[in-house]
Amino acid sequence: MKKKSSEVEGSQGKDFVSKKVQASCELKHCESCNIASETILRMINAIRSAFHENKLISAVAEERDLLKGDIYEKTQWAVMRRLAAAIEMDVKTTFEMMQGNDMKREAIKRNYEEKLNSLEAELSRKGTDFELLRGENFQLEDRIENDFISRELVELEGEKEEREDYDEIGVVAKGNKEILLLAIRVCLWSLKRNFNALKEKNFQLEETKERLTIELKDTRIKLERTAESWDILQSQIVKLAENKLELENSVRGLTEKIVDTRSACLETERALRILLTELQRENDSIKKEYRVKLEKLETELKTEMKYREIEKEPEAVRSEGLYEERVLMPGDDPVLDMTRQLISNRRKIEHLQRQNERLECRLCDNVLGESILKGRTRGGGSPKKPERVVK
């Protein structure tokens, strides 16, 4: 009989209890529960707006939308439990997103430091190349000046030697004309030889001059390019310094956001714990009230059974509605437990009302029978059994 009644309760629970009845049996909230529920709602709205700004999907928003349809079929404890689980999922998502932002920030910082170090190394290398090119330029200028001075000295020494030769030839020519002619020929030959040597030397000097001029132009071009690269490196250093300041500001802002988010998460967790403890206390108090009601109902049932044994009613009437389950089936879902408990309590209340009505009818019959017997004994008639009225 118990198994059958439990199956009936499980199959007809939702059809038997209307939403109007469930709404009339709504639990009364205390002030702390109202404050906690308002805090949870503000928290849900804040999480939804933050997730919408960051283009994320909020689990608590979806859970709240799902609970709007069947809010009368859920207890406050079950609703808050599901909302708390969804808030915990959103907090975990926010924490994972912050960890990802931290990793990205660290990667950007490492790349920035590596780029800065490479630019500093390139700048130092360009500086050394610039110094080397400047030294080579100074050496080329010194070589050009030394070649010009040495060439002038060689020409002066040649002119001096020729003058000395001419003087010696003039002294010797005074003694003999043939010797003078021979000396003139020798001088001409020497002059021709010197001229050819000077011509070759001049050609070599021209080639050296052209080569040095080309090298000087190349050096100037290299110096100009080095100066341009130096300016570019200086501008890059300025941009890197600006980027560094921006990154530091962004890191500072992210750190502040992380601190604020962590504090908000801690406050949320604290509020959820307080709310869960309050809901647990309220649930325990409700369980105690229902246990007291069940005990009262059991005592009333016992008294009713005694009355029925005295009256000796038929077996079908005695067994009607007295063997229903008085103990709720234990389950993990509190919504199902409370629904079953509510259904069983209402059935027991209706059964007790019917029993009370029958008892009132019997009491009325007994009172009428006694009054009729007293009247007939006074009048001398025979007693007659009163008719029984059963509702």
Q: Read off the pLDDT of residues 58-70 as tens digits, 9 standing for 90 and up.
A: 787 787 777 776 5
Q: Is the pLDDT of residue 326 over 50?
A: no
Q: Is the pLDDT of residue 73 over 60?
A: no
The pLDDT value recorded for residue 357 is 82
- Average pLDDT of span 200-223: 77
Q: Is the pLDDT of residue 4 over 70?
A: no
The pLDDT value recorded for residue 323 is 43
Q: Read off the pLDDT of residues 114-145 as tens digits, 9 standing for 90 and up.
A: 877 777 777 777 777 777 777 777 777 677 66
Element (H, E) at 56: none
Indicate yes or no: pTM above 0.85. Answer: no
Distance CA 382, CA 121 (A): 133
Q: Is the pLDDT of residue 15 over 60?
A: no
Helix-then-strand count for the chain, H and E: 8, 0
Q: Is the pLDDT of residue 160 over 80?
A: no
Check: CB of residue 192 under 8 Å from CB of residue 184.
no
Burial class from Cβ neighbours inside 10 Å (0-12, 13-18, 19+) for residue 239 reads exposed
Q: Read off the pLDDT of residues 260-287 as tens digits, 9 standing for 90 and up.
A: 888 888 888 888 888 888 888 887 888 8
- Average pLDDT of span 289-318: 71
The pLDDT value recorded for residue 148 is 62
